Structure 1
Amino acid sequence: MLETSARLLEVLSLLQIRRDWTSAELASRLGVSARTVRADIVRLRSLGYLVDARPGVSGGYRLAAGSALPPLLLDDDEAVAVAVGLAAAATGRLGVEETSLTALAKLEQVLPAHLRHRVDAVRQATSVVPGAESRLDLSVLGAVSSAIRGHERLRFGYTKPGGAEEPRHVEPQRLVSWGPFWYLLAWDLQRDDWRVFRVDRMAPRAPTGARFRPRLILEKDVVAFVVGRVAAGARTHHARVLVHAPAAVVAAMIVPLPVDVQAVDETTCIVEVSADDPRRAALWLAQLDADIEVIEGDELAESFRELASRFGRASSARRATGHASDGQRRSIPPRA
C-alpha cells in the first residue's frame, strides 16, 4: 500500500511538471507496466484530480484545471525558490504582501530543516540597495502570521518609541500592511482592549500553545481602526493638500507616511497627510512631480517655503569655482 501511495504522488508530480505524458513514458519513468499506469490514473481521478486522457498512439494523459488546487509537489530547489520568492513579495509593494506572507508561513512550517537552512542562507547572502531594504525580520512576521492562523495567544517584547521594551500578551487578530510598515491588530490581555503594534518593534517569545476564540471584527473595520490609531497616536502634524495628479497615480507611490487620497476629478486629488515632522511630509509630496496647493496646514506650508529657499541656494551656489554662498572661498576636494 505504501508503494502504491508513493507511486501515486510520483505520477501527480510528473503530471505537474509537463503538460502531456504518454502511457509508455509514464511507465518508463515509474518502472511499471502501462496497465499499472492506467490503474494509477483511475485512482487519482477517484481522489478528485481531473486527469484527461487522449486516445491513440500519440495520445496520453494531462492534468486538467479543476475546481480545487491539487497539492503541489516540489523538489528541494523548487521549494527553496518558492520560499525566497514569497519572502521578497511579502515585503514588496505588489499588492500581494498578505497572501504571500500566509503562503510563506504554510511553506516554512513543513520545510525540512536542511531546506530552511538553505532559505536562510539565501537571505543572509543577499544584499539590497541601501534605503530599499526591509526593516522587518521575516521570521517575526512569520511567527505572528502563524499565531493568527492558528488562533494562538502571542507573547512578545515590544520596543516603545522611547527605546524601552515591555512584555506584552495578546490575542493576535489581523496584520495590516501600510507603507513600509506592518501593523498587528490584537486584543491586549493585560489592558483588556484593542491595541495596534508595529511588527518591526516586536520580539516574539516561545509560543505557549494557548488558543483563543477570535473576536468578530469586519475587514473594513480592521483597516479603519489601524489607520486611525496610528495616525492619532504618533502623528502631531496634519495637513490637506490639492495635488494636480490623478488619485491612482498618487496612491501608487511608495508612502512612508499615513496618507488618505481622495479623487476630485480625473486629474486632481486631495491628500490628507500626517507626520511627526512637517518637513518629512513636504519632502515626500515634492517627489510626486506634480503641482501642489496647501489647503490646510501652516507647518507644511512653512516647510515648503524653507525647502524652496534651500533649493534656491543650492542651484545658485558656484561650487565649480569654490565659492560658498556666503562669499567665503572654500576648498573643494577634486572628484575621485
Structure 2
Amino acid sequence: MANTSSRTLRLLSLLQTHRRWAGAELADRLGVSERTLRRDVDRLRELGYPVDTSRGTDGGYQLAPGAVLPPLVLDEEEAVALAVGMGEAARSAITGMETSAIRALTKVVQVMPPRLRRRVDVLSEAMVSATSAQPVVAVDVLTVVAQACRDEERLCFSYAARGREPSSREVEPYRLVTVGRRWYLVAYDLTRLDWRSFRLDRLTEARPAGARFRPRDLPARDAAAFVRAAAGVPEPYAVEALVHAPAARVRTAVGQWGTVEEAGEHSCVLTMTSTSLDWPIQALGTVGAEFEVLGPPEFAAYVREWGERFVRAASPGPASR
C-alpha cells in the first residue's frame, strides 16, 4: 500500500479525471478499503479541496467548485492568468496544442469559484476581440462541453444555427474538434435522432443533463472528418519538404505554422498541415533556401506550376517589351 501522502495525491489526480467516481471503484483503484478512502477524502477536504459525496446506487465522489481556490501551487491571480492563457492556446492554430490546453483548462476551471470564472470570461473576451476576428467561445462553454465528452454524460444547451432562432438541444457528446480555427462539438442529437456538429460560438447555457450513456459508433473515419464533411471543408494537405538550411533558421521563418525536425547539420524536414497549398509554398519561399518536396504529389505539381510562372515572369517575350 502506498504511503498516506502519495495516496492522497493519487486520489486527487483520479478525482480530476472524472466528473464522478463510484466509491467502490475509487477504492479499488487506490488499493484501499472504502473506510480508508473516506479518511483520505476527509484529508483532501482539510487541505481545501472541495469533494462532494453522494449516497445511494448512483452515489460516489466528485471534485466540485469551492468557495475559494484550493491550495494548488497557484494563487488566484496566477490561476486566472493560466486559465486565460490556456483558453487562448486552445483557440490557437498551433497543431496539437488545443487538446492539451483544453485538458489543463478543464482541470483549473473545475475547482474555480464562480467569481474567478467570471473574471476569466471577461478577460478572454477582451483579448480575443482585440487580437482576432474569430468568434469568441466562452471558457465556461469549453470546459462544460469538454467534461461532458470526457464523462460520457448527456449535455443540454441552447443552439442558434445560422439564420435561425435558438433552440434547446439534448445530445450525447462525442468529441470536441477544431477545424478552420473554430471549435465544434460532434454529438448525437437526441431530438433529431441523428449525428450533428455544433459550432461552440453559437452554443450557450451548456449544462450536464445528469444521465450517462454508452457511446454510439460515429458514421465517419473520425470526428474531424465528420465536421469537415458537414461544413464542406476540404481535407487538409500534409506537406513535407526537405529544406537545405539549419533547423533554427527554418523555425524562425515559419513560426508556429509548421514543425521542424533536424535532418543533418545544415538540413531539416519541414511539415505543414493546410487546406490550401498557397500557404506552404509561401512559407518555403520566405526561408530563402533550396528545398525538395517529399509529399504529397499535389504539392510537387503546385510548386512546379509556380516555378514555371515565375520563370515566365522573369523572361518576358517580345510582345511585353
**What is the TM-score normalised by the length of structure 1?**
0.48
| Higher RCO (CA 8 Å, separation ≥ 6 residues) | 2
TM-score by length of 2: 0.49
Larger Rg over CA atoms: 1
